A and B are shown apart, each in its own frame.
Chain A
């Protein structure tokens, strides 16, 4: 158990809909990362937050947005869903220490299926 909690574990929805994925980081971790894993694209970095602020952005679509709340949990919002958005979405957390980036600890993922 990594200590990172993601909900829901599975989600099935229709094209055009909107969903929210939730992540609670490990206790004490200030950084939260979101990754998308689809069959042909591997692990794609979406976005990172540190203590409530956006710190890095990857290949995140405009239809997707995220935020990190004061209690450090994070939500990833996916809207106007398309079939190609079907994937496993991972959240990871990390301690952000000065000059010593640590490893990421991943949640179990949220599997999104868009029909």
Chain B
């Protein structure tokens, strides 16, 4: 069975601090895809990144970085020098073929 666990329900940090959002997944498949989505207070779901199971290279995009480790079935997301605009709910998701499973999300509060 496929499963995505985001153990951190809610996190609060002060602006400019770094914060890491954890994502642990379960799958028996060898080919799968992992995603992160952001849901700001306005409600829409914004795609952030896709990673396939064969590419364990970490990725950096500005203040965002992702650490994919197959050995621990984790796909963690780090925001460096956080800003108030980063306040949102962040979802990790796992996809194999047409089945896409989302974690329950982590609500991130960036305090000014």
Contact = CB atoms under 8 A, between A and B. Distances in A.
16 contacts: A31-B98, A33-B100, A35-B102, A42-B103, A48-B98, A92-B45, A101-B97, A101-B98, A104-B100, A105-B47, A106-B44, A106-B45, A106-B46, A106-B47, A107-B44, A109-B44
Interface string A58-90: 000000000000000000000000000000101
Interface of B: 33, 35, 37, 43-47, 50, 91, 95-105
Interface of A: 2, 31, 33, 35, 42-43, 45, 48, 50, 55-56, 88, 90, 92, 96, 101-109, 111
Nearest to A49: B98
B43 A109 contact: yes
A96 B98 CA distance: 8
Interface of B is mostly: strand
B25 to A, nearest CB: 15
A103 B35 contact: yes
A50 B45 CA distance: 21
